Amino acid sequence: MIVIILSALAPLTAYAANSPLITVNQVIYAITAFDDTFTYILKPLEPGNPMPAGSTAQGYTFTITGTGSVEIELPNYNRQGLYLYELSQVIATKNPGYTYDRRVYTIEVHVDAALDVKVVVFNENGTKAEEITFQNTYNITPSDPNLMSDPTVRKTVFGNPSRNSTFTFRLEPRSSSYPMPPGSENGVKTIYITGSGMNEFGVWSYDKAGTYYYTVYEVNTRENGYTYDTAIYTITDMVKEENGTLVLTRVVTNDLNKPVTSLIFNNYYYPGGSGGGGTDPPNPINPPSGGNDKEEHYHVDDPDVPGGGFDQEDHYIDGPDIPGGGLNIGNGPKTGDDSNITFYRILFILSGMVAIGAMTYLIAGGKRKGVGDKI
């Protein structure tokens, strides 16, 4: 529960001047800083009572936003008398989650013959008040972080590096005021994955309705021999109040603005490549403009990534470069080992055919010679 206390300090001693000031202080006690605006009105209880500048026929209204203070300057009293006013909160539109204080304070302004002014404030029950205090209660239940979908970051390394490198990923909010998961620093959450694997950023809670945007991307740390995935994913959290509880709806989209359930990044390693890009690997897969559809080509036979590896256009084959399989990219030339295997297979078949022909010839010749001897 979050309590917002708004206090208007009303001194009870006489003023030397005949235009007294009432200082209104607004103090907000909350888990996070709120910038909600509240409105108040000072009304005369008798026609013709002097009113502050800017008043209308309904009275004098003022607002306070966030933590701050407002001074109300009462008018210049130029004649002796008793002037009565009421001060209350205006509740024209209810903000979700708030219970508003509806009390009304009575303010008496006493002006004596010397035009000295004294202000006295009374509670609704007629007792004297030392200060004016409004209490608004904010009791919306924050969103449940346990119900937040935390998309998994999946990293797949293609190639045969001599050692596993560590890759860096960041979650950044569009606004620094957005909530972030534990472990964030300077408004950014950073996670790491070594080699092929997966990790998560974590979950958090919302205590105000609204729409929140975050981006996820891989940091190019320019490891030698690697080309880095440049995909950028967007997380959109729509938070609404339902029956006193904030409810979250999350959508995660890729570069094509297509919904996805995991954040997939693929890095390619090839000997001789320079850090952070360099020459493209042999026969690279060039995705269509805007990126490729990583979500629909996730292979189930890759042991390095739980649930499978990344199947580029269904060209996933067994190979020595990738544990559990290699990447057959398009119809380009294969590795030297594959070419030698094909050559030796053809040579083996030709040798067999020659051997079979020689054996057939010898057998046939022997049979003819035997028949002739008998004659």
Q: What digits encode the pLDDT tens for the residues 195-204? A: 999 999 999 9
Closest C-alpha among 190, 228, 198, 234 to residue 216: 234
Integer Cα distance of 278 and 326 in angstroms: 22
Identify the architecture of domain 2-138 in CATH: Sandwich (2.60)
**pLDDT confidence of residue 132:** 84
Q: What digits encode the pLDDT tens for the residues 50-71? A: 999 999 999 999 998 776 778 8
Question: Quick check: 207 pLDDT over 80?
Answer: yes
Question: Quick check: 224 pLDDT over 60?
Answer: yes
Closest C-alpha among 33, 37, 40, 29 to residue 4: 29
Closest C-alpha among 132, 349, 121, 167 to residue 275: 167
Other C-beta atoms closer than 10 Å to the C-beta of 73 total 13
181-185, 248-252, 344-348: the lowest-pLDDT one: 344-348
Query: How far, CA to CA in Å, does 363 sit from each of 68, 344, 350, 359, 370?
Result: 112, 29, 21, 6, 11
Residue 305 DSSP symbol: S
CATH T-level assignment (fold) for domain 145-290: Immunoglobulin-like (2.60.40)
Integer Cα distance of 11 and 23 in angstroms: 9
Query: How far, CA to CA in Å, does 206 sit from each of 38, 141, 172, 187?
Result: 22, 9, 16, 16
Confidence of residue 315 (pLDDT cuts 50, 70, 90): very low
Same fold? 2-138, 145-290: yes
Confidence of residue 97 (pLDDT cuts 50, 70, 90): confident
**pLDDT confidence of residue 361:** 61
What pTM value is reported for the model? 0.51
For tokens 């070419």, name the residue: 339
- CA-derived radius of gyration, the chain: 40
Q: Quick one: what percent of the chain has pLDDT higher than 90?
A: 49
Domain residue extents for the chain:
2-138, 145-290
The pLDDT of 277-301, averaged and rounded, is 37
Q: What digits encode the pLDDT tens for the residues 107-166? A: 999 999 999 999 999 999 999 988 888 887 777 889 999 999 999 999 999 999 999 999
The pLDDT of 4-33, averaged and rounded, is 53
